[in-house]
Homo-oligomer: A and B are copies of this chain.
Amino acid sequence: MPHLKMKFSTNPSSLSVSAVLTKEQTDAESKSKKQAMEFKEYVLEKAISVNKALESAVSIKEPVKIHESMRYSLLAGGKRIRPMLCIAACELVGGVESTAMPAACAVEMIHTMSLIHDDLPCMDNDDLRRGKPTNHKIYGEDVAVLAGDALLALAFEHIATQTKGVSSDRIVRVIGELAKCIGSEGLVAGQVVDIISEGISDVDLKHLEFIHLHKTAALLEGSVVLGAILGGAPDEDVEKLRKFARCIGLLFQVVDDILDVTKSSQQLGKTAGKDLVADKVTYPKLIGIEKSREFAEELNKEAKAQLVGFDQEKAAPLFALANYIAYREN
């Protein structure tokens, strides 16, 4: 994964709102409100169909305990950002929701697997996730390890057996992309370097970016790229969307770092201030809160620049998802 070279913006935040609005500003505000409403409907609609698909992807059967454990974490009400990115990318390039749905479920299964394993006592040792006890607190460490493994395998099974209306060539490509973004050069690489870096005081920005690009951005990148490939995008468009996803992936983690030090556990639905306690290097720690916020703005802008040239109406959900990631509260 190439190193992202981005300057830190010194411009004032684009979120600031002037006290007195001109006619144009009122019109823009009103258009923006309309878009926000449409996005809210979009998110609601997609979340319902994704949750329905996830619900039927893991039914209760023998052995009951492992399926309960998988469902406990998978259906714990996450924000479903990854499935939404996958579906939105597919629709952007001309595909339909049903084509992307198995892959959309797969990326959420992988995300859930990574949370279950990450929360284990031998890893982050977290008791709380999405406002509920972590998987191993309910089912035991052994079953939690296995539930993660089973979700990882199911993700591939789901894509291979449930994807319809796409050539097998594209399905094979999608499986290769997903596997790469999980493994020792993706998600796992980020987690390992994160673990190794704990307590080390001289971690620099490049090193921190490696962690975030792998630990968080890789799977967000995968989500978008999978959707684009399944939707039939030409290679050039897949690569533009890959860059978009990498930017919002890094953005996601920068915002996460900021939220960890600015919000309470109750507001986040998970233990706040953990990074500080674990002495983890974060963007706020390295460059301060304000510079972190500016960097987030810059990444959001850089991400959106990749969407120029696509049908702007169809690209609206990806624009809005980038904003959502940038300005989320938990």
Which residues of A come within 8 Å of B, CB atoms? 58, 61-63, 65-67, 70, 113, 117, 120-123, 140-143, 145-146, 148-150, 152-154, 156-157, 160-161, 167-169, 171-173, 175-176, 178-180, 182-186, 188-189, 191-193, 195-196
Contact = CB atoms under 8 A, between A and B. Distances in A.
Nearest to A156: B179
Given A169-B168, A176-B161, A149 B188 contact: yes
Given A150-B188, A157-B179, 18 more contacts: A63-B184, A66-B184, A66-B189, A67-B184, A117-B146, A120-B142, A120-B145, A122-B122, A122-B142, A146-B188, A146-B191, A149-B188, A150-B184, A153-B186, A157-B183, A161-B176, A168-B169, A171-B172
Nearest to A174: B160
User: Which residue among A123, A175, A180, A192 has the maximum number of chain B CB atoms within 10 Å of its CB?
Assistant: A192
Contacts of A117: 145-146, 149
Contact of A153 (B120, B168, B172, B188): B188
Nearest to A143: B192
A193 B149 contact: no
B152 A63 contact: no
Contacts of A123: 142, 145
A188 B66 contact: yes
A50 to B, nearest CB: 20
B154 A156 contact: no
A318 B208 CA distance: 51
Contacts of A178: 156
A187 to B, nearest CB: 8
User: Which residue among A63, A143, A182, A186 has the maximum number of chain B CB atoms within 10 Å of its CB?
Assistant: A63
A143 B191 CA distance: 9
26 contacts: A58-B184, A61-B185, A63-B184, A70-B184, A120-B122, A120-B142, A120-B145, A122-B140, A122-B142, A123-B145, A143-B195, A146-B191, A146-B192, A149-B183, A152-B153, A153-B180, A153-B182, A153-B188, A154-B183, A156-B178, A157-B183, A160-B173, A168-B169, A168-B171, A171-B172, A172-B172
A160 B172 contact: yes
A141 B150 CA distance: 19
Nearest to A158: B179
A66 B180 CA distance: 15
A65 B196 contact: yes
Contacts of A169: 168
Pick the 9 closest A-B CB pairs, nearest first: A157-B179, A168-B168, A122-B141, A160-B176, A153-B183, A153-B182, A150-B184, A156-B179, A160-B175
Contacts of A161: 176
A282 to B, nearest CB: 19
